[in-house]
Amino acid sequence: MRNALKIATALAAGALVLAGCGSSSTPATPGGSENPSETSSAPTSDLKVGLAYDIGGRGDQSFNDAAARGLDKAKDEFGVQAQELEAQNGETDAQKEERLRTLADGGYNPIVAIGFAYSGPVGKVAKEYPDVNFAIVDDAANDLPNLANLVFAENEGSFLVGVIAAEASKSGNVGFIGGVNVPLIQKFQAGFDAGAKAQNSSIKLQDKYLTEPPDFGGFNDPAKGKTTAKGMYDKGTDVVFAAAGGSGSGVFEAAKAAGAWAIGVDSDQYLTAAPAVKDVILTSMIKKVDVAVYDFIKSVVDGSPLTGTTTFDLKNDGVGYSTSNPAVEPYTAKADEFAQKIISGEITVPTTP
């Protein structure tokens, strides 16, 4: 009896892992099935693009969706074929390597890995397949001739929304909610804090990361986002920047309940959020992952694949903030002023908080 209980506990953990394997291929949409007819008039390329998503995958309304948009644009314009696979929470590097090898063995070239979690795996697999062009978004740890590192200056975009937050805050108290406490998300916080302080040196800053690695559930837990945001609003914050992927929807709910502002991330969330909550999204820190993915595929189509590290920052319009919510209008002048200073090099935005 006691054995059964022990087995139960051991298998409970195993179940999560198995759940990951079991379904990793289920939701992967075979390339083109969503827009089957649009390629008819477009030029057809014999390129087969492999895309490996981070946790969340296509449909996450955030980071991965931006990558998917870039891929869709490339599909429309160049007629490339694509295979999309996605990661699951709690999987190991070995599973990610296997995913990349599956794509490479299937004749997919180029292969794009979305997310810093692929850093180790892509470095390893790219060496094994020197004839295949790889790209990784959000990581620059590897330096290989057949690998393009597509990275963003999230700190610069976050700086601008920090300026807007500080300006919009009546209480002089702004908050930051990060999905998972990893260096990439810390970059968002560093920029946001610096921007808020640049605008108002006496501003009070609150910050919280929903989970700690290796638990990446913080990107997918709106309940935690809502509780944390409510805690911040209770303590006097009136603007919260959520760099927390899918947990952001909980932050928006809390903002709506508190009658306060929230700031979205990665995509323009004022446009993608539900009508009931969109009005609380003052602006969003935009990170043009779609442009990065599209540019990379285009470079392969053109016959001169990108390699080395390409940084998408304010200067080349790779990051920024959204102005689709009219409420942000009064604050854009100041933000643009700071943007110019960052572009000219007058201000250097820190990358760690």
Among 35, 44, 227, 340, binds other proteins (CB under 8 A): 227
Q: Does 23 bind other proteins (CB under 8 A)?
A: yes
**Closer residue to other proteins in complex, CB, 19/42:** 19
- Matching residue, tokens 């979305």: 114
Q: How many residues line the site for other proteins (CB under 8 A)?
A: 58
To the nearest 10 degrees (0 to 180), the angle between helices 329-344 and 183-199 is 110
Among 210, 281, 300, 319, binds other proteins (CB under 8 A): 210
- For residue 244, the 8-state DSSP code is -
- For residue 33, the 8-state DSSP code is S
C-beta atoms surrounding 217 within 10 Å: 16
Q: Does 42 bind other proteins (CB under 8 A)?
A: no
Q: Does 183 bind other proteins (CB under 8 A)?
A: no
- Matching residue, tokens 């919260």: 240
Stretch that binds other proteins, among 113-121, 158-166, 226-234, 316-324 (CB under 8 A): 226-234
- Strand-pairing partners, residue 285, are 265, 321
**Closer residue to other proteins in complex, CB, 29/307:** 29
Contacts to other proteins from residues 76-105, by CB under 8 A = 89
Alpha carbon of residue 279 to chain centroid: 22
Is 220 within 8 Å of 245 (Cβ atoms)? yes
Backbone φ and ψ of 41, nearest 5°: -95, -20
Among 42, 145, 223, 330, binds other proteins (CB under 8 A): 223
Q: Does 352 bind other proteins (CB under 8 A)?
A: no
Q: How far apart are CA 23 and CA 34, in angstroms?
A: 20
Stretch that binds other proteins, among 1-9, 95-103, 306-314, 323-331 (CB under 8 A): 1-9
H/E element, 125: helix 119-128
Q: What minimum distance in Å lies between the beta carbon of 213 and other proteins? A: 9
Q: Does 1 bind other proteins (CB under 8 A)?
A: yes
Q: How far apart are CA 226 and CA 230, in angstroms?
A: 6
Which parts of this chain interact with other proteins (CB under 8 A)? 1, 4-5, 7-8, 11-12, 14-16, 18-19, 22-23, 26-27, 29, 55-61, 65, 89, 181, 208-212, 215, 217, 220-228, 230-231, 234-235, 246, 249-250, 253, 272-278
